Amino acid sequence: MIGWLGQRTVDGYTYLADLSAQVYLTLRELVSPGQQGRWAALRVTFRQMLFTGVDALPVVSAIALMLGLIVITQAGTQLPKVGGEGLVGNIIVVVIIRELGPLLTAFIVIGRSGTAITTELGNMRVAQEITALELMGIRISRYITMPRVVAVVLSMLCLIFYFDAVAVLGGFIIARIKLTVPFHVFAQAVAQALSLTDVLVTAAKGILFGTAVAVICCHHGLSVHSSYTEVPQQTTQAMINSVTICLLLDILVTVTAYF
């Protein structure tokens, strides 16, 4: 039992060290002066942003609208019963903008793009595409990892703010059918409740979630060795670890910023 615990602890530290090394390599590639491969990497970054960001807009819109409708309807109908009409803005900011917006966006990105990245890289590893790239003198950290991390971080950041906007505004429009609160009152309440800290914390979450998801998914994809059966195993593991680490990061940021 003690041996098992010790092994798990060592494995956990090794895993975190590997992820940290991947983050370091990505940052180094991002700031290193070498020009070789820049254009090719930029092309990969744009393609990944198109898939992770632009292609995700319909599903993000749908989920944001539904969440906004639920939260705004509940807040708008329940709070007046207890005399808390004035708290509608606060509830929306706390629930949607601070917490559920970033988290649900991260889960959508993990489900759509994170799994796709792990599967793609895993299949590339088995088909020896990664080895072939290395043999051409193409740096994996520059051509494979860095573009994906940059693209996922930027996409995550934009998607979170998009999610928040759609959830708050779209949710209000849909909920307007049942609510009696006029839009300007609603907008004013939200604007008053929203502080610069909220915006900065949301942005920080976007950067941290994006980095974590991309690095974890790349790491698991590149960890596939020689068999196609490893690909779904690594994909599942990447998904679970991404969700867990995003939740841990969320706690860390929330506690640091608001506690």
35 versus 229: smaller Cβ distance to another protein: 35
Question: Is residue 244 part of the contact set for another protein (CB under 8 A)?
Answer: no
23 versus 87: smaller Cβ distance to another protein: 23
CB atoms within 10 A of CB 191: 10
Q: Which residue in 18, 129, 198, 230 binds another protein (CB under 8 A)?
A: 129
20 versus 128: smaller Cβ distance to another protein: 128
Question: Is residue 127 part of the contact set for another protein (CB under 8 A)?
Answer: yes
> What mask of x and - would describe binding to another protein in positions 76 to 115, judged by CB under 8 A?
----------------------------------------
Question: Is residue 143 part of the contact set for another protein (CB under 8 A)?
Answer: yes
b/e code 105-126 from CB counts within 10 Å (16+ = b): bbbbbbebbbbbbbbbbbebbb
Q: Min. distance of Cβ 134 from another protein in angstroms?
A: 7
DSSP letters for the chain: -HHHHHHHHHHHHHHHHHHHHHHHHHHHHHH----TTHHHHHHHHHHHHIIIIITTHHHHHHHHHHHHHHHHHHHHHHGGGGT-GGGHHHHHIIIIIIIIHHHHHHHHHIIIIIHHHHHHHHHHHHTTHHHHHHHTT--HIIIIIHHHHHHHHHHHHHHHHHHHHIIIIIHHHHHTTT----HHHHHHHHHHH--HHHHHHHHHHHHHHHHHHHHHHHHHHHT--S-TTHHHHHHHHHHHHHHHHHHHHHHHHHHHHH-
Judged by CB under 8 A, the stretch of 9-17, 83-91, 106-114, 131-139 that binds another protein is 131-139
Q: Min. distance of Cβ 57 from another protein in angstroms?
A: 23
> What mask of x and - would describe binding to another protein in positions 18 to 57, judged by CB under 8 A?
----------------xxxxxxx-----------------
Question: Is residue 227 part of the contact set for another protein (CB under 8 A)?
Answer: no
78 versus 128: smaller Cβ distance to another protein: 128
Question: Is residue 137 part of the contact set for another protein (CB under 8 A)?
Answer: yes
105 versus 235: smaller Cβ distance to another protein: 235
Q: Min. distance of Cβ 78 from another protein in angstroms?
A: 50
* CA 32 and chain centroid, separation: 25
Q: Min. distance of Cβ 232 from another protein in angstroms?
A: 18
118 versus 241: smaller Cβ distance to another protein: 118
* Separation of alpha carbons 185 and 181, rounded Å: 7
Q: What is the contact surface with another protein in residues (CB under 8 A)?
A: 34-40, 123-124, 127-129, 131-139, 143
